[in-house]
């Protein structure tokens, strides 16, 4: 039997929403991704075939629509009004995960995913007016991690590009960071100033960029969600 075999609205909604990867695909769409490769960059472990399957299923369920590619270079995926109603569900999942879940597992650290999120969570109005190249190099990667550890972020007020290969341009700012420390900053668990003080993040280059760089980062969408304050066990000896 396909599905849960129930007519309950929760059950039938789960048959659309609760498949593996589907909530994260919706997360990417809400974050502004519209093309297949953009969605996949936010989900580096999903196979192309499974992503295509999930997108077709969401289109068949009326959650998204695929814009006719005849007049475009690549198909574009857009949420329908039915899909847009999932936004508070995704928001609630993120808030719950930030507040209650054990979020930080060193084995799940992913430099490419972090950089993809940094690229789309920059305060555009705080960036230098001129074209600026920032080189990132991460240490402390998990043993099983096999993707890039060096990245180039090319920023302009109108566009921000992320490169996995040296673009051949002069670098204005160098960021050397322990990946775990940067992930903690991104999640709101560590102040940037502390990472600079301990040396887990080092900034070198133009002095004005070194000073302003931390203000460019908007951090995770859920970074400001408060965590519960640990309480002492009154029965502890």
Angle of the 9-17 helix axis to the 22-30 helix axis, nearest 10: 80
pLDDT at residue 80, as a whole number: 98
Write b or e for each residue in 76-105: b if 16 or more Cβ atoms lie within 10 A of its Cβ, otherwise e: bbebeeebeebeeebeebbeeebeeeebee
Angle of the 87-100 helix axis to the 22-30 helix axis, nearest 10: 110
Handedness of CA 173, 178, 180, 181 (dihedral sign): negative
Contacts of 186 (CB under 8 A, 6+ apart): 114, 117, 118, 217, 219, 220, 223
Domain ranges of the chain: 9-100, 106-216
* Among candidate residues 69, 12, 32, 77, the one with its CA nearest the CA of residue 51: 77
Residue 65 reports pLDDT greater than 70: yes
Q: Which CA distances in Å does 145 have to 139, 148, 208, 209?
A: 11, 9, 34, 30
Scan for tokens 């102040």, then name that residue: 191
**Is 106-216 the same fold as 9-100?**
no
Whether domain 106-216 has CATH 3.30.1050.10: the reply is yes
Q: Which CATH class is domain 9-100?
A: mainly alpha
Residue 30 reports pLDDT greater than 90: yes
* Among candidate residues 60, 66, 80, the one with its CA nearest the CA of residue 16: 60
**Neighbouring-strand partners of residue 174:** 135, 204
Structure tokens belonging to residue 131: 């074209």
SS3 207: helix
Over residues 185-193, the mean pLDDT reads 95
* Average pLDDT in the chain: 92
Over residues 38-52, the mean pLDDT reads 95
Overall pTM surpassing 0.75 (yes/no): yes
DSSP assignment of 11-60 equals: HHHHHHH-STTHHHHHHHHHTT--SHHHHHHT-TTS-HHHHHHHHHHHHH
């Amino acid at each position: 039997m396909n599905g849960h075999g129930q007519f309950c609205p929760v059950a039938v909604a789960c048959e659309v929403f609760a498949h593996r990867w589907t909530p994260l695909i919706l997360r990417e769409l809400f974050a502004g991704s519209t093309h297949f490769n953009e969605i996949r960059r936010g989900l580096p472990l999903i196979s192309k075939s499974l992503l295509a399957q999930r997108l077709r299923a969401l289109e068949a369920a009326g959650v998204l629509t695929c814009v006719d590619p005849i007049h475009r270079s690549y198909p574009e995926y857009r949420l329908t009004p039915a899909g847009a109603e999932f936004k508070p569900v995704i928001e609630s999942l993120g808030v719950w995960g930030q507040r209650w879940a054990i979020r930080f597992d060193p084995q799940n650290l992913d430099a490419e995913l972090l950089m993809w999120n940094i690229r789309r969570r920059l305060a555009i109005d705080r960036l230098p007016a001129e074209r600026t190249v920032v080189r990132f190099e991460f240490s402390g990667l998990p043993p099983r991690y096999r993707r890039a550890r060096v990245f180039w972020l090319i920023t302009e007020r109108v566009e921000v590009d992320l490169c996995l290969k040296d673009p051949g341009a002069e670098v204005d700012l160098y960021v050397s960071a322990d990946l775990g420390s940067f992930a903690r900053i991104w999640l709101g668990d560590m102040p940037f100033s502390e990472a600079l003080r301990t040396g887990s993040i080092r900034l070198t280059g133009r002095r004005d960029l070194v000073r302003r760089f931390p203000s460019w980062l908007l951090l995770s969408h859920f970074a400001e969600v408060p965590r519960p304050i640990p309480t002492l066990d009154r029965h502890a000896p």
